[in-house]
Structure 1
Amino acid sequence: MSLHDDAVLVLKGYEGQPELRELYLEHLAARPDGMYKPCTGVHVTASALVVDPTRGRVLLTLHRKLNMWLQMGGHCEEHDATLAAAALREGVEESGIDRLALLPGGPVRLDRHETPCAWHLDVQYAAVAPADAVERISEESLDLRWFAYDEVGSVADASVVRLVEGTLARL
């Protein structure tokens, strides 16, 4: 099964945000290349909010290009077998934490946002960090920092706040 096919199945099974979900499915129906960065104008991305439920906190990255506190995430790559695998890969690469585990139940949210390269149709997952996790900043970040759940609204935009709220509801 291709990454494109997996994304269609994941989105068809996602029960929230029906209008946005339909937009994603229409994009994928029209664009066989719609999963990857070379698909100009708009493409699907995958992200993972790294959480530490035992300490009540989330790990955010200060994105180098956007200069915003965000969850880990980015473009799908040819070797990603599934959307979940792409989100987990991004989480590991950007957090430096090797043993992340995605929360069961599929994506937490969908978020459509404009970036300098294109519109991103982001499929957002949540990943639990192990108790002994040690984060390591990547070249894509200016900073990497843990924030208490109630601190996120003071540093990040509304999309990240909604992702944290969805993740807490899932936990």
Structure 2
Amino acid sequence: MSLHEDAVLVLKGYEGRGADEAERAAQDGLRELYLEHLASYPDGVYKPCGAGHVTGSALVVDPARGRVLLTLHKKLGMWLQMGGHCEPGDATLARTALREAREESGIAAGLTLLPGGPVRLDRHPIPAPCNWHLDVQYAALAPAGAVAEISEESLDLRWFPYAEVADVADTSVVRLMEATLARL
């Protein structure tokens, strides 16, 4: 199975969840938009697709300590979850998200995705020529005693208590955290 085919299956199985009816409707609308994108663009999971492309991300969570790991993105200057582009060697969207989480967090051993598939979808504009990231967002569980190590893609890497995330991150990250906590 190709990464494109996996993305279609993952999205067909994705059930938009949310704190309220409006959030659920928005998630369902994004799922349909992502599926239309993939139906129109056979290369829609890769960065060269000019109409936008699917990306994979993961919010690294340490439930035992009530905190999340965020990266201060080098290009955007924003605190975000770990994530990035699909690569030809990625067999699934889940593997894309987990690979990105491992690379950007420095936590290789014991980092696992929260079962149940993606937690959220988020579509955000990016500079041309790509135009859009169609982000499929997962949650990754940090093992006990995990030590994070900053990557070349980050200006900083830091653990934040759940209550402080809204003070440093944008609404997308806050919603991802809330959706993740609802699944824990």
State TM-score, norm by structure 2.
Answer: 0.92
2:157 is aligned with what amino acid?
Answer: L
- RMSD value, Cα: 0.7
List alignment gaps of at least 5 residues for structure 2. Answer: 17-26
Given the alignment of the two structures, is residue 42 of structure 1 paired with residue 64 of structure 2, yes or no? Answer: no
Matched with 1:65 is 75
Instruction: Trace 1:52-131 onto structure 2 (pairs within 5 A).
Output: 52-98=62-108, 99-116=110-127, 117-131=130-144
Secondary structure of 2:122 counterpart: strand
1:121 is aligned with what amino acid?
Answer: L
Given the alignment of the two structures, is residue 51 of structure 1 paired with residue 64 of structure 2, yes or no? Answer: no
CA distance in 1, matches of 2:53, 2:179: 23
CA distance in 1, matches of 2:99, 2:118: 15
The alpha-carbon deviation at position 41 of structure 1 amounts to: 3.1
Matched with 2:8 is 8
2:131 is aligned with what amino acid?
Answer: A
Percent identity of paired positions between Structure 1 and Structure 2: 79
Secondary structure of 2:52 counterpart: strand
The alpha-carbon deviation at position 15 of structure 1 amounts to: 1.0
CA distance in 2, matches of 1:151, 1:22: 33
1:44 is aligned with what amino acid?
Answer: V
State TM-score, norm by structure 1.
Answer: 0.99
List alignment gaps of at least 5 residues for structure 1. Answer: none
CA distance in 1, matches of 2:90, 2:131: 20
Select which of 156, 165, 168 maps to 1:143.
156
What is the number of equivalent residue pairs in this alignment? Answer: 171
CA distance in 2, matches of 1:19, 1:167: 20
